[in-house]
């Protein structure tokens, strides 16, 4: 599997669907976010100036935006750089919502998560701002919850991603009871005596830079590491293609809270999916926000 980079302005939507969405092959778009007002604007200094006092929590500790930026840029060396450090944009930084529009980028459509139906409740999706410092990496290799497809929009700094093609789950030793995360503690230095099947895995590592967007299809194991201070915006995609697996995950996750809750949530999701299919059939436009 090759991770290609294409110019979003000249790459046809139909080609994206046939060559990447349907077969589940990641793709990097160049310039997909050029119409966002966030493009070429987001930087540590910009966030210090405009939202320096906004707060978030990482691993139970509270940080201000200014404090985070000082840590990731090395201006404050008094404590470790938190990662992954994130802000939920609609609730913690709602002023940014119009700055990341159009959210679908012309390619992330149709997206049922933008429907009113799936904006109610929590379905594993979120519109989030990620901030990282040099060497900061996601703590484990994982699949995205609910078999959602991820769109990661790099707006500042370079980030290194590693992905594994579909069908390599057994080589990554999913956690018992948490099948969406790998039990291998350090994917950069795998103990092959403890995890012998990993020798058959075929990881692909590549870099995504400012102004580039990474599409990670559902069912693709992945992880990331910041090569320098980084700022990115991530959101998820759900439509008819990944909905059957999404529905299975809804049942698996929600029934843990009780059988009746599992039945209610799965029934609600099934109805929402049916209505979204009808909306797609009649050409309904969905826009605006994301939960």
- SS3 string of the chain? CCCEEEECCCCCHHHHHHHHHCCCCCEEEECCCCCCCCCCCCCHHHHHHHHCCCEEEECCEEEEHHHHHHHHCCCCCCCCCCCCEEEEHHHHCHHHHHHHCCCCCCCCCCCHHHCHHHHCCCCCCCCEEEEECCCCECCCCECCHHHCEEEEEEEECCEEEEEECCCCHHHHCEECCEEEEECCCCCCCCCCCCCHHHHHCCCEEEEECCCEEEEECCCCEEEEEECCCEEEEEEEECCCCCHHHHHHHHHHHHHHHCHHHHHHHHHHHHHHHHHHHHHHHCCCCCCCCCC
What are the φ/ψ torsions at residue 252 (nearest 5 degrees)?
Answer: -65, -40
Specify the pLDDT at position 189.
95
Token reading at 105: 């980028």
Specify the pLDDT at position 289.
65
Helices 259-281 & 243-254 angle (0-180, nearest 10): 160
CA trace torsion 92, 94, 99, 100 (10° rounding): 70
Cis peptide before 102 (omega within 30 of 0): yes
d(CA 246, CA 218): 10
CATH superfamily of 4-281: Cupin (2.60.120.650)
Sequence-distant (≥ 6) Cβ neighbours of residue 275 within 8 angstroms: 115, 117
Positions in the chain whose pLDDT score sits under 50: none
Specify the pLDDT at position 209.
98
Specify the pLDDT at position 288.
59
- Residue 71, exposed/middle/buried by CB under 10 A (0-12, 13-18, 19+)? buried
Cis peptide before 84 (omega within 30 of 0): yes
Specify the pLDDT at position 13.
97
List alpha helices for 52-194, DSSP H: 65-72, 89-92, 116-119
What are the φ/ψ torsions at residue 258 (nearest 5 degrees)?
Answer: 125, 145
């Amino acid at each position: 599997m090759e991770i290609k980079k294409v110019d979003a302005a000249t790459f046809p939507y139909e080609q994206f669907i046939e060559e990447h969405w349907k077969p589940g092959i990641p793709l990097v778009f160049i310039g997909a976010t050029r119409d966002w007002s966030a493009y070429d604007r987001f930087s540590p200094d910009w966030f210090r100036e405009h939202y320096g006092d906004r707060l978030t929590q990482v691993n139970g500790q509270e940080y201000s935006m200014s404090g985070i930026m000082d840590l990731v840029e090395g201006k404050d060396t008094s404590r470790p750089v938190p990662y992954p450090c994130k802000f939920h944009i609609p609730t913690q930084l709602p002023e940014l919502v119009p700055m990341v529009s159009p959210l679908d980028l012309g390619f992330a459509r149709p997206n049922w998560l933008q429907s009113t139906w799936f904006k109610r409740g929590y379905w594993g999706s979120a519109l989030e701002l990620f901030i990282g410092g040099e060497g900061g990496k996601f703590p484990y290799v994982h699949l995205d919850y609910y078999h959602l497809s991820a769109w990661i929009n790099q707006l500042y700094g370079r980030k290194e991603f590693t992905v594994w093609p579909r069908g390599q789950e057994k080589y990554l030793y999913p956690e018992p009871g948490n099948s969406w995360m790998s039990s291998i503690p350090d994917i950069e230095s795998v103990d092959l005596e403890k995890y012998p099947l990993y020798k058959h895995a075929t990881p692909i590592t590549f870099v995504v830079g400012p102004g580039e967007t990474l599409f990670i299809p559902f069912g693709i194991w992945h992880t990331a590491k910041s090569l320098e201070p980084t700022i990115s915006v991530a959101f998820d995609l759900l439509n008819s293609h990944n909905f059957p697996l999404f529905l299975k995950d809804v049942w698996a996750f929600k029934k843990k809270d009780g059988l009746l809750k599992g039945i209610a949530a799965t029934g609600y999701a099934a109805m929402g999916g049916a209505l979204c299919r009808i909306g797609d059939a009649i050409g309904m436009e969905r826009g605006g926000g994301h939960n």
